[in-house]
Structure 1
Amino acid sequence: MIENQISGNIVACAVEVHRNLGGPGLLENVYEEALAWELQQRGFVVERQKTVPVKYKGNLLASPLRLDLLVENQIIVEVKAAAQYNPIFEAQALTYLRMLDLKLALVINFGEKFVKDGIHRVVNGL
């Protein structure tokens, strides 16, 4: 499956999670767990809190990168539950994409009244 097909399914799952949990007001980890479960029920391979080693000038740093979700080893999903969206979320996602040489990330802010307004695509060379 290509990135755009997978991302369409991720968005559908995010809407389902938001609807079933009653909208905003919960912690990020609740939305993250529910989204991972929803994706797995649809047959997707999902890794939660995946650690990724970070190298600096050939040296492995003690602090690894931690992704909220990695779907099908292709798409990074950063889950937020912020009352106010911050563009830094997209900058972080783009950095993650570059470090892992991936093409697409979704930043999903479940803190929005309508989750569709909180979904931001971040691309790296798509």
Structure 2
Amino acid sequence: MEFDILSKRVLDASIKVHTVLGPGLFEEVYKVALKHELTRSGVKALSEVVLPVTYDGIELQLGYRIDLL
């Protein structure tokens, strides 16, 4: 998918979620709604993706997660 098309879909989905839900809700609500809108528009979206951190050959168990990828 071209970058311009992807950018437009992400921006449109973000604006729609904010317009429909408004401000003041918990982050999780927006994350789930945005993932839904992105998926509907044909954008593959993953949530709570584990981000491994490696130091000196060992994987550090830090619990980092990417909210929405």
TM-score (norm: length of structure 1): 0.51
Tell me, which stretches of 5 or more residues in structure 2 are unaligned?
none
Aligned: 1:67 with 2:66: yes
Tell me, which stretches of 5 or more residues in structure 1 are unaligned?
71-126
- Map Cα deviations across residues 10-54 of structure 1 (whole Å, 9 max, x no partner): 111000001111x21100000000000000111111111111211
Name the % identity: 38
Q: How does 1:103-118 map onto structure 2 within 5 Å?
A: none
State the shift of 1:58 in Å: 1.6
State the shift of 1:6 in Å: 1.4
TM-score (norm: length of structure 2): 0.87
Number of equivalent positions: 69
1:34 is matched with: 33
| RMSD between aligned residues | 1.3
One-letter code aligned to 2:51: V
Cα 1:63–1:4 change in 2 (3 A) is farther
Separation of aligned partners in 1, 2:16 and 2:8: 13
Please identify which structure carries the higher strand content.
1
- Map Cα deviations across residues 63-115 of structure 1 (whole Å, 9 max, x no partner): 14210111xxxxxxxxxxxxxxxxxxxxxxxxxxxxxxxxxxxxxxxxxxxxx
2:24 is matched with: 25
Give runs of ≥4 in structure 1 deviating > 4 Å: none
Please identify which structure carries the higher helix content.
2
1:12 is matched with: 12
Separation of aligned partners in 2, 1:57 and 1:2: 37
1:58 is matched with: 57
